Amino acid sequence: MQFLIVTLGCAKNEVDSDRMRALLLAAGFEETVEASEADVAIVNTCSFLASATEESVEATLQLAEERSTGVRECPIVMCGCVPSRYGDALAEELPEVSAFVRAEDEDGIVNVVCDVLGVDVPATPEEDAVPLRTVEGASAFVKISEGCDRFCTFCAIPYIRGRYHSRPADEIAAEVRDLMEGGVREVVLIGQDTGVWGCDLGEKDTLASLLRRVADVVRPYGGWVRVLYLQPEGMTDELVSTIRDVDEVLPYIDIPIQHCSARVLKAMGRSGSPEELHALFARLRSEIPGMVLRTTGMAGFPGETDEEAEELYDFIAEEEFDYCSVFAYSQEEGTRAASMPDQVDEAVKLERTQRLIDLTEQLGFAATASHVGERVRVIVDGIEEGDDGPELIGHAWFQAPDSDGAVHIAYGEAAVGDIVTVDLVDSFCYELIGEIVEEGL
């Protein structure tokens, strides 16, 4: 019997879908990418924002409508953040869905699928024999933790995913080793708050120690390690020196600041000030020369004044981040910020957001263009049909996969997963044009 997985939302959901896929394949199911061929469809949902919840529900209903006219019935299983957030209320609201699986229960997907299909649960290999992931491609996201203890006033994640807990280092290292054996050449460590990894494990367990452990695993394969979603408080001396001194760990630092105003940050349930953040980034640039910086900014948080919006704009302009994602504040049900006074008018919120986007694109395009003339290693992610024929698509160390643009290379003798040396000869927006360097040059 065949299953279809539709994944919505962030890279963490991609990881969860990979795990469910591995469990189903080990149980004897086959995967299809065609809804018309599926015996069961699994929708892994996102509920970080109200818009993401709406998208998840719409995708589910559209799939149900498509399958209602098919040649055979196809039960739908909804997994992930929407069931975790809304629980038992969904059964009445979405009768089109046969089963709901909260994020923490996804390892039981085989039993759920068999139940909705009305078939016996097949004998499966021992859990230790089931691959942790099934990944096709050169890069793979690896979750190092689940949940969050920060309880920022705008964020529903702690209510959806629960309190913070770290995955054991041995489990992470084993997953990375399996991925490398399968042809992956870059692992991207992710979590809601990666900087505090190990805080619930023991005094010697820190993100820096985990990075060194993972670097040891990827080194024989010539692989890379990247880490995302670091909070300012997580940038310890040990972590900074590890990023600087361990070759396999890329000097790519992603610190979502959300805002810089001390008053707004306090209202968000966060800490910091413009002075403290400027000092942090100055320190990082001094101690890790040539590093790349990514951040996230939020516009229109309740009570944000015109002056505070301008303060954030000026801060981003002064820091000249290589990459910066910008979001308009979303009034999320169940969060403290949703009931705060002085909610910013939607039109004002969107105007502030667009102004920040215009600035960050200007900075990002310039940062991308600054790499023209460099000779870099590029991981080949795929092959696409371009205007002048097939071309290799890859990314360099300063480009996080699925986030920061790509390097386009004239088709050559390289396969997905290969790491090739490339001269960067031109850029457009966040994209770069590269030429493979022949051996010996």
Where in the chain do CATH 2.40.50.140 domains reside? 375-436
Which residues belong to CATH 3.40.50.12160 in the chain? 2-129
429 known member of a binding site: no
Q: Please report which confidence band the pLDDT of residue 361 belongs to, taking 50, 70 and 90 as the band edges.
A: very high
Question: Is residue 441 pLDDT above 80, yes or no?
Answer: no
Q: Is the pTM of this model over 0.85?
A: yes
pLDDT at 374 (0 to 100): 97
Class of domain 2-129: alpha beta
Angstrom distance (rounded) from CA 83 to CA 17: 15
Which CATH number does 375-436 carry? 2.40.50.140
148 labeled part of a ligand binding site: yes
The whole-angstrom separation of Cα 14 and Cα 12 is 5
Q: Which residue has the higher pLDDT, 387 or 372?
A: 372
Distance CA 400, CA 186 (A): 10
Multiple choice CATH, 139-369, 3.40.50.1820, 3.80.30.20, 3.90.1150.10, 3.40.50.10890? 3.80.30.20
pLDDT tens-digit profile of 72-129?
678 999 999 999 998 878 888 899 999 999 998 999 999 999 999 999 988 766 655 5
Each residue's pLDDT tens digit, 383-440: 887 777 789 999 999 999 988 999 999 877 788 889 999 999 999 999 999 999 976 4
Q: Residue 152 annotated as binding?
A: yes
Average pLDDT over residues 318-328: 97
Best-predicted range by mean pLDDT among 89-93, 130-134, 331-335, 410-414? 331-335
Confirm or deny that 155 is annotated as ligand binding.
Answer: yes
**In the prediction, which pLDDT does 389 show?**
75
Tokens of 404: 């920061």
Of the candidates 299, 309, 300, the residue with the CA atom closest to the CA atom of residue 343: 300
**Is 10 marked as a binding-site residue?**
yes
199 is in an annotated binding site: no
pLDDT, tens only, 149-204: 989 999 988 888 889 999 999 999 999 999 999 899 999 999 989 999 999 997 78
Query: Boundaries of CATH 3.80.30.20 in the chain?
Result: 139-369
How far CA 253 is from CA of 14, 390, 409, 410, in Å, comes to: 21, 33, 26, 30
| 30-31: strand order across its sheet | 30-31, 2-7, 40-45, 76-80, 99-102
